[in-house]
Structure 1
Amino acid sequence: MSVEPSHPVPLRASDADREAVVAELQEAMADGRIDLDELGARLEVALSARTHAELAPLTADLLPVAPPAQPLLLKGGIAGAVRTGVWRVPHRIRAYGGLGGVKIDFTQAACRLRVVDVEVDGQTGGVEIVIPDGWVVETEHVDAGLAGLRDRTTAAKLPGSPLVRLTGTCGMGGVTVRHPKRGERRKLLRESR
């Protein structure tokens, strides 16, 4: 039986992760938040970064220009709903488990926000949230409902990484927040090569 390491292994950055940081830096320069010299220096680091921990400081001091007005709405319905892969994280997400459940996977998402507000309603199917190592979750404003909340995350926050702030109710299906499982980590490592 293998044992998980006690310290989180730095998650490797993919080409998509580096490209998201490059796009954010270019946008910051266009907005006048950084100058051309600073853009060049940060781009050099971004393009050679191997882990998320190396990328995070490059955009930690850059605030987004304007939050989107509408939250991302995920409804599980009968078949369920999944948000995974490479996607841009909005300020607010509403997840309704329905019968089929909702899964929100942040492990490959592009996120330049300090706080992401996620309103959950587990309903019957439940809501599952997967966050990268280094991200943290705040769960004290979630009603346990019938099924309860399972928080399987660590409290070790990387500088510049987001806080996922949960509100809402677990309902009958429950809400689970966790880091990637061993198989998911292997898949992420393969994809980042």
Structure 2
Amino acid sequence: MTAQPPEPTPRPVPSGELRASHDDREAVVEQLRDAAAEGRIDLDELDSRLEQALTSKTYGELALLTADLPKPPSSAAENLPPLVLKGGMYGASRGPGRWEVPGHVIAHAGVGGVSIYFTRVECRLAEVVVEAYGETSGVTIVIPDGWATDTTGMAPGFGGLKDKTTPDRLPGTPLIRLTGSGGMAGVVIRHPNKRERRKLDGNATRD
């Protein structure tokens, strides 16, 4: 028998190519209407951008329509209290569903470990501080493609820091500023793996 060639490995889908939902399109439509009301774009340009927004299929197409506009106010998110996650004995996680992101997240891994997924959130903050302590079992942070991270304020500790993210940052996305210490087990920050991407693609199709 002739050996069959191996199937090609699926190409990871950048977040800009992920399918946009009705809510994603409506958020951009609202931002465009606010920009027109403030005199930032004229009515002809508003009509053109609204038409493109309503027919956009991906996050990247939507991002282009608002790339030259200031981000909308995010006072509600900025006023949220810090989110504190404690792994304790059994572990703790936030996500991978939708949740409201405050400006400050604190994670203590403890014995059970902590996982934080930003993959399905809508965050209008310019910056989110994630204070992570790897302690005994470690902290894992997963951010979408197109989000960037600054790890210069992180002490690696014995367990170290593994930054598997790319520096490519899409307009309108927050910077994750990582602080804290790797502790014994370390801290990992990365983009979604293949299994997580498949789940994200399935959720986007159902939106």
Normalising by structure 2, report the TM-score.
0.77
Larger Rg: 2
- The change in CA–CA distance for 1:86 and 1:44 in structure 2 (over 3 A counts) is farther
Deviations 1:57-101 (A, max 9, x none): 538612434211521111111111111111121111111111111
Moved more, 90-99 or 37-46: 37-46
Residue 149 of structure 2: SS of its match in structure 1?
Answer: strand
Deviation at 1:44, TM superposition (A): 5.0
Is 1:11 aligned with 2:18?
yes
Q: Which residue of 2 aligns with 1:71?
A: 82
Q: Which residue of 2 aligns with 1:130?
A: 142
Gaps in structure 2 of 5+ consecutive residues = 1-5
Deviation at 1:109, TM superposition (A): 0.5
Q: Which residue of 2 aligns with 1:55?
A: 62
Matches within 5 A, 1:140-159: 140-159=152-171
Whole-Å Cα distance in 1 between the matches of residues 163 and 93 of structure 2? 19
Contact 1:56 1:161 in 2 (8 A): no
Deviation at 1:162, TM superposition (A): 1.3
Partner AA of 1:62 in structure 2? K
- The change in CA–CA distance for 1:16 and 1:6 in structure 2 (over 3 A counts) is closer
**Sequence identity, in percent?**
47
Superposition CA RMSD, Å? 3.0
Whole-Å Cα distance in 2 between the matches of residues 153 and 102 of structure 1? 19
Aligned residue pairs, count: 190
Deviations 1:137-164 (A, max 9, x none): 1001100011000011111111222110
- The change in CA–CA distance for 1:152 and 1:81 in structure 2 (over 3 A counts) is same
Contact 2:112 2:137 in 1 (8 A): yes
Matches within 5 A, 1:16-165: 16-18=23-25, 21=27, 25=31, 29=34, 44-57=51-64, 58=66, 61-66=70-75, 67-84=78-95, 85-165=97-177
Whole-Å Cα distance in 1 between the matches of residues 188 and 22 of structure 2? 29
Deviation at 1:135, TM superposition (A): 0.5
Is 1:172 aligned with 2:184?
yes
Whole-Å Cα distance in 2 between the matches of residues 96 and 33 of structure 1? 43
Contact 1:150 1:175 in 2 (8 A): yes
Normalising by structure 1, report the TM-score.
0.82
Whole-Å Cα distance in 2 between the matches of residues 126 and 34 of structure 1? 49
